[in-house]
Structure 1
Amino acid sequence: MADRRRQVVFVAFDGMQLLNVAGPAELLDAATQALGGRGGYELLIATPDGRPIRGSGGLRLMADVALGHVRPRAVDTLIVGGGMRIDEALGDPRLAPGLQRVSGGARRTCSVCTGALLLAHAGLLDGRSATTHWAFGAELARRHPRVAVVPDRIFVRDGPVVTSAGSTAGMDLALALIEEDHGPELARTVARWTVMFLRRPGGQSQFSERLALPSTVSTPVRQVLDAIVADPAGDHRLARLAARAAVSERHLRRLFADQARTTPARFVERVRVEAAREQLEATATPVEAIATACGFGSPETMRRAFLRVLGVGPSDYRARFRSTEPAALAA
């Protein structure tokens, strides 16, 4: 494979987010350029009927081939995009059999964002671990119980199948593919060219606006969830939460596991991290004061929680992800 270009087929459809294709494609092309003709990638766009598609933002994307005309044995990597309007694509009867056929001959199969739901619909994620956009993780788990959903990862590799989170995670995925194919030095070169982290710190939860609450929970659990989110610094010990829900502590744990897919303690921790994250991004409040205001008790407790949930400490998080620098405001 050193001098032969690997064929990468992107599956596109009406209503998809074009960044799901454009982001990974630009990084794979950068790798090809860096190799100077010594291998790299041949990129093709496949649509259900071989015609151009119109993305969610209204822009059109030309197609190279109809999905049904792709030769599976020629494909090295299949990458399926997604978008917020994924149900329209799920209703297209051409996609599932087309994905099954091409994936069967490809060396590896990948998805970006809600493209994981298309792979799952085609049965390609059965018995595997996978991730998707953080807002669709619960939906993926509900629709496809045979898929082990990992909700807070930038990408998940399970054998020849790699799934990634929201749209920009497709670029993290592309860097991982480049590193797998051509080694870490080329991946570092492409990351430098595109001004990206070679490995983004933390999981996708650090980029969510607010921890997504499950939408299909019973009244007792919903009351507890709402109370925690409304007052992250409140007394949310298990006994207090159980009393608020008028159930036993053991039953509350069971309800959380079944309906919220977590434990009460983990949910409290994540909500407090979300509250602290927002203050770190938007204010210059000292870390010690934020820890107290968000219910952590001490900066060290908050630091350990940040490392567990986001994979990065509070100070590093503020340095990397603060939205507005004081110098910019002064200017």
Structure 2
Amino acid sequence: MIGTTLGDIRKHLEALADETGPYYLRCGRTGERPVPAIGLRFDSRSTARAGARATEQYRAALRQYDPQLPQYDVIVCQDANTPTQLPDTLSDSRTPQPRRDGTTSNDTDTVGSMAGDWAAESESLIDFCHAIAGAVFETIADSSHQSIERAIMDTYFEIAETIESPDELCLRLLESMAVELECRLTPAEQATVLLAAAKRLPSPSPPASDEPLELALSRLQSTTLVSDYTLERRPDEWHVWRNSWTVTLDAYSLGQSETGVVTLPLVIELFRHRSSSDVSLSSATAVGDPPSSWTFTLQTASGTAPSGLVSVSSE
């Protein structure tokens, strides 16, 4: 299974990482941090180069799910605040340069600024979607639900035949995941899978003191999955042990008036900040004519049975 391959490569990559290391990886052309190396640091150039190779292997495996996954020239960079060795030649400078020995781009070292948390990285919608998808596929491969992987891909390929836009394709991949997880797993099983998937993504660093839901929605907005959002605390739910909000998502890319709203990426991002599955999403309503926004209720309470974790049907 490809999911197993992804999981093995991620474990190898994380074993190479050192949270205090001065080296990190990025694309030499775009400057973006590549999935799954976002937020990872390395203690030496040689280790970082091994990490770059593992990153390229991971992305090659993930590309079997979605051929539109961007091609990155993964290079090694060093934190600008860390003392560097003097360059051996004029070509070993702050700008990546071809080397005479024919080494690949991931053997090139540059100096730049270091970003820490995943949410602080500059990341495209495509990479965000593939980070979520990769984490879910890895989790499924490590679970007793391995047959779902094939079902997801069958659903996705059927949809993808009529779509050319890379952004649209990655959205349909998440949509296909939501469809199959909703059909084949109980809400409790969905919660277990999504919690485990969230743990495969970089942990918030440093731990945030803000409201987890606010942080999750801000993350979705930063990747343009939603253009704007509002949170309204429900006045009848002011309890220490229970929180309830009316959430409004403007121009949400994973909502359809005929079926409802896909909540999977929001919930995984919420679980990244809040490692508890007592979350319930319900009462999804399309707003506008034609509808471009969605409102729904999200509740967190001790002992709440999870529901609406991958999708919520429209009312």
TM class, shorter-length:
under 0.3
TM-score, normalised relative to structure 1: 0.27
Question: Comparing both chains, which one has the higher relative contact order based on Cα–Cα distances under 8 Å and sequence gaps of 6 or more?
Answer: 2
Higher CA-based Rg:
1
Larger helix proportion of the pair: 1
Q: Return the TM-score normalized by structure 2.
A: 0.28
From the two aligned structures, give the one with the greater strand fraction: 2
